[in-house]
A and B are shown apart, each in its own frame.
Chain A
Amino acid sequence: MGSDDYSRVVLNIQWSCNSPTCVLCAFAVQIKMKLFRFFSPATFYPLAGRLTPWFAALAAATLLIGLYWGFFETPNRLGGTNPQKEYYRIIFIHVPAAWMSMWLYLVMAVYSAVGLVFNTRLSFMLARAAAPTGALFTFLALWTGALWGHPSWGTWWDWDPRLTSELILFFLYIGYLALHSAIDDPRRADRASALLAIVGLVMVPVIFWSVNCPDPNKCAALHQRSSMANMEPNILWSMLIMTFGLWMYSFVTIFMRVRNIILIREADTTWVKELVAREQ
């Protein structure tokens, strides 16, 4: 932690806690010190570096298990009123990717909000690091959906409410990244794109509840309301394991990316200079 960071922490404590005798205040100060230490880029850089291999191992293991389970241990035929053929197996990539696209947007927006309120640099950096992975999952969800939609529905694309709102989510990710890179001053770029991320948050509940019609035959959508109770346990479990694997993969890419961002932004600080000197 640089001296600059430390003075900011002290300043923060003085602002929020004026009574030196208050026990609760002292406790809050303790928590705050820990939090701010954790939110310091200099502390987070090595921590993310240490955690990344563990997340990578977890991601590789769960993705392999999930794919094997999904492709070989699930029923070859589905039943029901209008059964899908083998192409139903896209569910093991499509649904986890779609969930992660919404989850990562939520993560990005929460980091943006925390950054705006508390002026913590690391939250902005994490939000910026989450965006490309979120955009990737949104793109994957759209593409796997198209590949599945052609044989089953009979079309690659349709302006169904869920498809449309997911496409808007993709544009929001791209817009966030474009806005961030369009502004040269990183602090201004952080704040402007954070606001866009918060405003774009409107799409996440819209996507989630875009299929919310009790009678599928009157539903104004091609997607239909689904329920985990309608799924065979093997299908459900391989889908959930794939979701976990993609989540762990997100940790890996976001931590690797945030480490790069930290190094670039903190290039002038002594700890980065020392680190670079050690590496050379």
Chain B
Amino acid sequence: MKARHKRFVFVALAILGVGIAAALAISAMRSNLSYFFSPSQVAAGEAPTNALFRLGGLVVKDSLARQGDGLTLTFAVTDNAATLSVSYTGILPDLFGEGQGVVAKGRLGEDGVFYAEEVLAKHDESYMPPEVADSLRPVQAADGTETAAGR
């Protein structure tokens, strides 16, 4: 084998190895990267009891309520199987809304309420003007846009 062919084989093997590593990383990310716990996992006791963790799910419609101090908000998060109440004191992000995806970081209290320190909203990937978006998804768009509260 000539020197150049040896180098070619070496580089090809390196790229092959890199490709395998990337494929493994991507499949790991798709299957078992626990970025957040769902309400069902919390209900099943899989989430840590005295450590910070992330809770992810959808904000239940008509569950958002402001408490007496005027700062604390409570809402319920669901994954359509289990529901968990969340308490949060602070400013909610712009895209937070009832019926929308949310990721909250905090602790599970003794009373079964999730006390969030940070609430993140997920964004919608639609980049359409309202008329077009409404015509594409009439059912969801009809109630989704105007119910967003808390800001």
Contact = CB atoms under 8 A, between A and B. Distances in A.
Contact of A221 (B14, B19, B35, B126): B35
Interface stretch (B21-29, B43-51, B68-76): B21-29
Contacts of A116: 7, 10-11
Contacts of A113: 11, 15
Contacts, number: 178
B106 interface: no
Contact of A79 (B35, B101, B133): B133
A136 to B, nearest CB: 24
A154 B94 CA distance: 7
B4 A15 contact: yes
Interface stretch (A97-105, A223-231, A242-250, A259-267): A223-231
Interface string B87-98: 000011111110
Contacts of A5: none
A125 B34 CA distance: 42
Main secondary structure of the interface of B (DSSP, over half): mixed
B141 A202 contact: no
Contacts of B4: 15, 117-119
A100 to B, nearest CB: 20
B131 interface: yes
Interface residues of A, number: 55
Contact of B130 (A83, A117, A154, A210): A83
B125 interface: yes
Given A75-B129, A79-B131, A206 B123 contact: no
Contacts of A216: 101, 122, 125
Contact of A202 (B22, B29, B121): B22
B26 A205 contact: yes
Contact of A152 (B121, B128, B129): B121
A80 B57 contact: no
Contact of B127 (A118, A218, A230): A230
A217 interface: yes
B18 A161 contact: no
Contacts of A75: 128-129
Contacts of A220: 29, 33-36
A232 interface: yes
A221 B18 CA distance: 24
Interface string B50-84: 00000011100000000000000000000100000
Contact of A158 (B33, B58, B79, B120): B120
Given A202-B25, A217-B101, A80 B141 contact: yes
B122 A153 contact: yes
B121 A154 contact: yes
Contact of A15 (B2, B101, B118, B145): B2
A79 B118 contact: no
Nearest to A76: B129
Interface in A171-211: 195, 198-199, 201-206, 209-210
Contacts of A30: none
A75 B23 CA distance: 39
B30 A213 contact: yes
A241 interface: no
B103 interface: yes
Contacts of A222: 103, 120, 122-123
Interface of A: 15, 75, 77-85, 87-88, 91, 113, 116-119, 151-155, 158, 160-161, 195, 198-199, 201-206, 209-210, 212-213, 216-218, 220-222, 224-227, 230-232, 235-236
Interface of B: 2, 4, 7-8, 10-11, 14-15, 18-19, 21-23, 25-26, 29-30, 33-36, 38, 56-58, 79, 91-97, 99-101, 103, 118-134, 137, 140-141, 144-145, 148
